[in-house]
Amino acid sequence: MPKDNCSTQEGNQRQWLTIVLCNFGLNSLRVKASAKQGKTFLFFKKDDSDLKLIINDLIQKNQEPKSHKNWFWCGNALKGKSKLFEKELNLGSDIHYLEFWTDRNPEVEEITIKIEDLKRIPTVDNPKWTGNFKDDPEEILLARAIYGEMGGESYEAKVAVGWAIRNRVEDPKQRWGKTYHDVILQPFQFEPFNDPKKTVFKKITNPPTDDSIEGKAWQESFQAAMGVILGKATDPTKGANHFLVKNAHPWPSWAKEDKCTVEIGNSKFYKL
């Protein structure tokens, strides 16, 4: 924008156009414009046409000889020719200001803004990982944990794992974090998240929803996660905050029988 040359209105060093990007990343900017030298009439020379570009309060300087340094397009240097401003900015998501100031009437031929793609938010129907678990809503992240730990187990077992995680979130001493993201993403707490090279990690980051068995397991995991978060599914673990399969090896030191609250399916749950 615009396609055709755009002559600015006659004026004296004034702000002509401001573009504001709200909550977008600014990847690159391309501006093509021209500026004419002022004509001499009798003994008087009119001002040159100039165009200034300011990005987030930073003036884009003109390095050409015989130019006004604060005006990237300077009529005295260009003499009516076009000049291209093209720059990779790679500015993250924020509020960004592009200001154009004119002196007399330069012509703008092109303004092309490349913005950062909007982040995709994973959903139950499109759960593919963005590359950052922090982009997951808490119900999706919890569903990934449940799916990785209990994908092949019963719905009750899935709810139990969800509650063991919720009980950590709600721990009065906040031993494992204050949010589902804090708890689940804490290093080496939940095996499916530990090693990107393992099959289970690839499975939770891109659940094979087109497979009838795995698709059902993922849907149940999500339903269990929603039931736990909303409190619609009661806690079958009796307050447990740890769990492991019955044949775990090596057997962890914290898994003491007096701490076991319940056995569900192939897993034992513990309250520490």
**Could you tell me if 111 and 137 lie in one domain?**
no
Instruction: Kindly state whether residue 128 falls inside one of the protein's structural domains.
Output: no
Rounded CA gap, 268 and 266, in Å? 7
SS3 78: helix
111 and 177 inside one domain: no
Name, of 5-14, 34-43, 263-272, the range with top average pLDDT. 263-272
137 and 261 share a domain? yes
Same-domain pairing of 150 and 264: yes
179 and 90 fall within a common domain: no
Are 107 and 232 in a shared domain? no
Instruction: Tell me the chain's radius of gyration from C-alpha atoms.
Output: 30
For residue 244, what are the β-bridge partners? 268
- Domain assignment of residue 198, given as a range: 133-270
Give the chain's domain count.
Answer: 2
pLDDT digits (tens, 9 = 90+) for 149-184: 999 999 999 999 999 999 999 999 999 999 999 999
C-alpha span between 41 and 58 (Å, rounded): 36
Are residue 167 and residue 75 in the same domain, yes or no? no
What digits encode the pLDDT tens for the residues 60-86?
Answer: 999 998 889 999 999 999 999 999 999
Residues 104, 230 within the same domain: no
Percentage above 70 pLDDT, the chain: 93
Please report, for the domain that includes residue 90, its CATH number: 2.60.120
Q: Looking at the domain assignment, is residue 125 inside a domain?
A: no
Q: Give the integer Cα–Cα distance in Å for 248 and 228.
A: 26
Q: What is the pTM of this model?
A: 0.61
Last residue of a domain, one of 115, 143, 174: 115
pLDDT at 40: 63
Q: Residue 242: inside a domain, yes or no?
A: yes
Q: Are residues 12 and 96 in the same domain?
A: yes
Please tell me whether residues 95 and 202 are part of one structural domain.
Answer: no
